[in-house]
Amino acid sequence: MIGRIAGIIIHRGMDHVLIDVRGVGYIVHVSERTAASLPPVGEAAALYTELVVREDLLQLFGFTTMLEKEWHKLLTSVQGVGAKVSMAILGTLGPEGIGRSIALGDSAAVRKSPGVGPKLAQRIVLELKDKAPSIMAMGASLTVDTGPVVIEADAAPAAKPAKSRAAPSAEQAAQAQAAMAAAEALSALSNLGYAPAEAAAAVAQASGAEPAATTSTLIRAALRALAPKE
């Protein structure tokens, strides 16, 4: 199983990249969101990968974080969701967005993804509602990226000198912080005895209203949402 690819980007497409690893070029299919985040041709990059094996086809799908990869694996467990549909959903909503949509039962948000109709969107939400909280709870530890990319000097002589991965962008840092806050809030609500699905829905609602909320803010907002209505 190929779990990670690191090398020099020698071609970029809308939904794939070609990465040279010691003279061997690997085509890695990615979401549009991931493609936009990768460095330009000639620079070093690394992706977590999932290998899809069929009778007449081998395909690699790439992800910038383990969180994105875990969501991909969960999405493709739903009947009717293949790898390309999963990548379309992740490209449209991102890992945090798909978690929030499933937790809130928002099939309309899932339906915005290319190739996803109303029935499939509803099936995704219904089948994953009880499974999504476990990945949301792990979000803080799975948002780490693939780390610095080190390419030996003789690995790709025609390429530009490889550079270590740049520091995470402000957007990536904010997403990681939001994932950590949501995971901690979910853990706190679980310790208070709330069921995973209802806790995830409350946290998703709170984080949607205030994306930059701290853990304590999310917990207070989620508890208000979970309080019995008079």
**Which residue from 11, 18, 21 is spatially nearest to 150, judged by alpha carbons?**
21
Contact at 8 Å (CB) between 102 and 79?
Answer: no
**pLDDT at residue 25, as a whole number:** 95
Both 175 and 216 in one domain: the answer is yes
Residue 143 lies in a domain: no
**Residue pointed to by tokens 């790898």:** 83
Contact at 8 Å (CB) between 74 and 128?
Answer: yes
Residue 107 lies in a domain: yes
**φ/ψ (deg, to 5) at 179:** -65, -40
Both 59 and 72 in one domain: the answer is no
pTM, full prediction: 0.74
**pLDDT at residue 230, as a whole number:** 57
SS3 (DSSP) at 223 = helix
Both 72 and 99 in one domain: the answer is yes
**Which residue from 121, 48, 123 is spatially nearest to 89, judged by alpha carbons?**
121
Contact at 8 Å (CB) between 19 and 49?
Answer: no
Both 56 and 78 in one domain: the answer is no
**pLDDT at residue 196, as a whole number:** 85
Domain residue limits at 191: 169-226
Residue 106 lies in a domain: yes
Low-confidence ranges of the chain (pLDDT < 50): 155-159, 161-167
Both 76 and 26 in one domain: the answer is no
Integer Cα distance of 199 and 188 in angstroms? 9
Contact at 8 Å (CB) between 100 and 68?
Answer: no
Token couple for 108: 């309309």
**pLDDT at residue 161, as a whole number:** 46
**pLDDT at residue 181, as a whole number:** 82
**pLDDT at residue 164, as a whole number:** 44
Domain boundary among 45, 64, 83: 64
CATH code of the domain covering residue 177: 1.10.8
SS3 (DSSP) at 104 = coil
Integer Cα distance of 200 and 183 in angstroms? 9
Domain boundary among 47, 64, 81: 64
| Backbone dihedral region for residue 178 (phi beyond 0: left; psi -120 to 50: alpha; all else: beta) | alpha
Both 60 and 70 in one domain: the answer is no
Tally of structural domains, the chain: 3
Can you point out the beta strands (E) in the chain? 4-12, 16-21, 24-29, 44-54, 57-63
208-217 CB contacts, 8 Å cutoff, 24+ apart: 208/100, 208/104, 211/174, 211/178, 212/174, 212/177, 212/178, 213/178, 213/181, 214/181, 215/180, 215/181, 215/184, 215/185, 215/188
